[in-house]
Amino acid sequence: MAFTSILRKTANSLAPLAIRLTRVQRSYHSCIFTALNHGLQSQHPTVNRFYPNTLHFSTAVDSQKSASDESLLRVIESEIQCAEESDEYDQAEGTPSEFPFKIEDTPGLQTITLTREYDGELIKVNVHMPDLVTGEGEADDDDDDDTEKPSKSNVPLVVNVSKKGCPSLEFNCTAYPDEITIDSLSVRNPNSEDELAYEGPDFYDLDENLQKAFHKYLEIRGIKPSTTNYLHEYMINKDGREYILWLKNIKKFIEE
């Protein structure tokens, strides 16, 4: 009897605790559900407020970019057409029959290379873009006797003359209309085209007869006014072609 009474009292004391635990658990689940539901509801106004604006901003940027690109393409196409119609783009007349060199012209490069063999020698000439002088300001220069005369248009040349097993001679020249000057003369190591064996003195410090002899040395190897005058026109035309190629490459990039 006493044992039964104890069990009944214990059961009675545990029942309220179980009820309270159940209520707490239900309350916990209810709080989670409420929090989740509130979180989901609170996200909707954010999406509604900001997402359409972001989409509108992105669309506006894309529209501005497209309009800017189309405007740039129109300007580039107009410039290409203008360059192709200009006199500078006209192809030079055929290579003169007496022109002694083979021309290597690679599109995209600012130089061309001339090569020829002469009496066991290999002659290689790197021809750079011309330095053009329009003659503006000549009238002002004429009024002042102490002022140097304006420079003439010219084409820079690097002439290398080599023989097997020997050092090569490298002349840095400037070709003017009907005139060629030698700016420097160096001796290069035969084992390396990039290594100078001897740079040499200032060319204009050499004896005048020695200077004339070197000019004659180049002339009989094809470096003479008839050659460089043709190169002057050729490089002007190449400059125009390279400019158009540059524009077309930019146009292609924008279109893709």
The pLDDT tens digits for 111-154 are: 999 999 999 999 999 999 999 886 644 444 444 444 444 478 99
> What pLDDT sits at residue 61?
64
In the predicted model, residues of the chain with pLDDT beneath 70 are: 1-62, 87-93, 134-150, 192-194
Environment class of 227 (CB within 10 Å of its CB; exposed 0-12, middle 13-18, buried 19+): buried
DSSP conformational letter for 166: S
- Residue 193 three-state SS: coil
> E strands within 163-209?
168-176, 179-188, 196-198
Torsion of Cα atoms, 88 then 90 then 94 then 95, to 10°: 20
Per-residue pLDDT reduced to its tens digit, 201-221: 999 999 999 999 999 999 999
Within its chain, how far is the Cα of 233 from the centroid? 25
| Whole-number Cα distances in Å, 1 to 7, 8, 13, 43, 189 | 10, 11, 18, 63, 123
209-221: buried (b, 16+ CB within 10 Å) or exposed (e) per residue? eebeeebeebeeb
> What pLDDT sits at residue 200?
87
List the one residue out of 244, 237, 155, 167 whose CA is nearest residue 199: 167
> What pLDDT sits at residue 207?
96
**Fold category of 102-134+151-224 in CATH:** Mitochondrial Matrix Protein; Chain A (3.10.280)
User: Is the entire prediction scored with pTM above 0.75?
Assistant: no
Amino acid at 143: D
